[in-house]
Structure 1
Amino acid sequence: MIYLLLSVLSSTVIFVVFRLYKRFGVNTLQAIIVNYFVACTVGFFGYIENTSFGHVPSESWFPGALMLGFLFIAVFNLAAITTQKSGMSVVAVATKMSVAIPVLFGIFLYNESTGILKILGIILALAAVYLTSIKSKEGISIKSKNLVFPLLVFLGSGIIDTSLKYLETNYVSETDVGLFSSTIFATAGIIGTIILIVQGLMGRLKINFKNILGGIALGIPNYFSIYFLVLALRSKGFDSSTIFTMNHVAIVTVSTLLGILLFQERLIPKNWIGLGLAILSIILVANSAI
């Protein structure tokens, strides 16, 4: 449980950093790319011992790490497009509702436990994610021509979580968790650098020192959010469908509360209902594992 809590806290710090980007005018794409290299470095020098990096391409999990690195960048860009076309609320819902994919994956592929408490908790969790994410009384509105973008964010985010579970279960040894996590971030960073090079050749690149600082601030908690999530998936007593549900809903809950405390966000009644459902869903899902 401690690893799950640490993953939630790390992910919540990411939320705070993203909010500060807007306040200080940080270029999100540049900061994201710097963040991947920082996260990779944290893993390489802080959580990997006596390892020869030359053997990494021969590891059984290496192709999966490459795929995840590509997905990290792809989903980020899709989220940016979705934000521009449909707003932040749509991105928040699509990203967090994607928890349904790894949950179903765990239940049907790994025959993880089901029961009335867990099923009810998962349903309430999905409702909580929607209600806490919307920022207007009218709810969420998406033009039909733009529907493909949040759907891709939903699928991409769900595939990332599902792949983490699959690779962690079948290929990543306990001693390779740090190396596996760092390889994902390194791949994402390299792909992101290629994007920046293309922008530079097109004359659209302007690097600012504050973007680098923003990437450093993001990279440290970002590494730990993945590292601790993988360790949480390895913990005994909770299956992956329980871990993913509690992780997503707890992040939404804590992030919303921090939004109120640190950024004076005002919640509409639906948001408060969502918070209540989030807390109830965590209690139900946690107790279903006892």
Structure 2
Amino acid sequence: MIYLLLSVLSSTIIFVVFRLYTRFNVNTLQAIIVNYFIACTVGFFGYIEGSDFSHVPSENWFPGALMLGVLFITVFNLAAITTQKSGLSVVAVATKMSVAIPVLFGIFLYKESTGALKLTGIVLALAAVYLTSIKTREGLTIKSKNLIFPLLVFLGSGIIDTSLKYLETSYVAEEDVGLFSSTIFATAGALGVLILIVQAFLGKLKISFRNILGGIALGIPNYYSIYFLVMALRSNGFESSTIFTINHVAIVTLSTLTGILLFREKLLKKNWIGLAIAVISIILVANSAI
């Protein structure tokens, strides 16, 4: 349970850092790319024994780590496009509602429990995510021609979580969790550099110290959000469908409360209802595992 809590706290710090990007005019793409290399470095120096990495390409989990690295940077860019075309609320809903994919994966592939208490909690969790993510009275507005982008964000985010569970269960030894996580971030960072190279050739690249600093601030909690999530999935206390549900809903809840306290965000009635439902869903899902 402690790993799950630490993953939620790390993800909430990520939310705070992203909010500060707007305040300090940080270029999100550049900061994200720097963040991947910082996260990779944290893993290499903090959680990996020895300095010989020549065996990494021969590890069974290596192709999966490469795929996740590609998905990380791809989903980020899709989220940026979705934000431009449909707004932040659409991205928030698509990202958090994607928890349905790993939950269904756990239930159907790993034959995890499906008691009435748990299923009720999962349904309430999805409702809570939706209600807390909508920041306008009008709700979501998506033009039909732009629907593909939030759909891809939804699928990509869900596939990332599902792949983490599958690889962690099937291929990644406990002593390799740090190396596995770092390889994912290194792959995403390398692809990000290619994007910057293209921007440089197009004359659109302008790097500033604030973007690098923003990447450093993001990279540390980002690494731990993945590392602790993988460690939580390895624990014997909860099934993966329970872990993912609690993780996503707790992040939404804590991030919303943090926004109120630190950034004086004003919530709509539907947001408050969503928070209340979120607490209920966490209680139901957690109790179903006892």
Specify the TM-score bucket, using the shorter chain as the normaliser.
over 0.9
**Is residue 280 of structure 2 the alignment partner of residue 280 of structure 1?**
yes
Q: Distance in 1 between matches of 2:87 and 2:138?
A: 14
The letter of the residue matching 2:97 is: M
- The equivalent residue for 2:4 is 4
Q: Residues 50-83 of structure 1: CA distance to partner in whole angstroms, max 9, x if unpaired?
A: 2520110000000000000000000000000000
- The equivalent residue for 1:50 is 50
Q: Distance in 2 between matches of 1:97 and 1:182?
A: 26
Q: Residues 164-196 of structure 1: CA distance to partner in whole angstroms, max 9, x if unpaired?
A: 000000000010000000000000000000000
How far residue 136 of structure 1 moved from its aligned partner, in angstroms, is 1.1
- The equivalent residue for 1:40 is 40
- The equivalent residue for 1:249 is 249
- The equivalent residue for 1:207 is 207
Q: Distance in 1 between matches of 2:212 and 2:54?
A: 28
> What secondary structure is seen at the aligned counterpart in 1 of 2:54?
helix
Greater CA drift, 48-57 or 156-165? 48-57
How much is the aligned-residue C-alpha RMSD, in angstroms? 0.5
Q: How does 1:155-194 map to 2 (within 5 A)?
A: 155-194=155-194
Q: Residues 216-272 of structure 1: CA distance to partner in whole angstroms, max 9, x if unpaired?
A: 000000000000000000001200000000000000000000000000100000000
> What secondary structure is seen at the aligned counterpart in 1 of 2:255?
helix
Q: Distance in 2 between matches of 1:29 and 1:45?
A: 25
Q: Distance in 2 between matches of 1:248 and 1:70?
A: 22
Q: Distance in 1 between matches of 2:51 and 2:128?
A: 43
> What secondary structure is seen at the aligned counterpart in 2 of 1:119?
helix
Gaps of 5+ in 1: none
Q: Distance in 1 between matches of 2:216 and 2:247?
A: 24
> What secondary structure is seen at the aligned counterpart in 1 of 2:142?
coil
Give me the TM-score of the superposition, normalised by structure 1: 1.00
Q: How does 1:63-212 map to 2 (within 5 A)?
A: 63-212=63-212
The letter of the residue matching 1:245 is: T
Runs of 4+ in 1 over 3 A off after TM superposition: none
- The equivalent residue for 1:216 is 216
Q: Distance in 1 between matches of 2:196 and 2:54?
A: 27
> What secondary structure is seen at the aligned counterpart in 2 of 1:180?
helix
The letter of the residue matching 1:26 is: V
Q: Residues 133-172 of structure 1: CA distance to partner in whole angstroms, max 9, x if unpaired?
A: 0011111111111000000000000000000000000000
Q: Distance in 2 between matches of 1:138 and 1:41?
A: 43
Q: Distance in 1 between matches of 2:199 and 2:57?
A: 29
- The equivalent residue for 1:30 is 30
Q: Distance in 1 between matches of 2:51 and 2:6?
A: 25
> What secondary structure is seen at the aligned counterpart in 1 of 2:254?
helix
The letter of the residue matching 2:119 is: I
Q: Distance in 1 between matches of 2:141 and 2:8?
A: 29
The letter of the residue matching 2:168 is: E
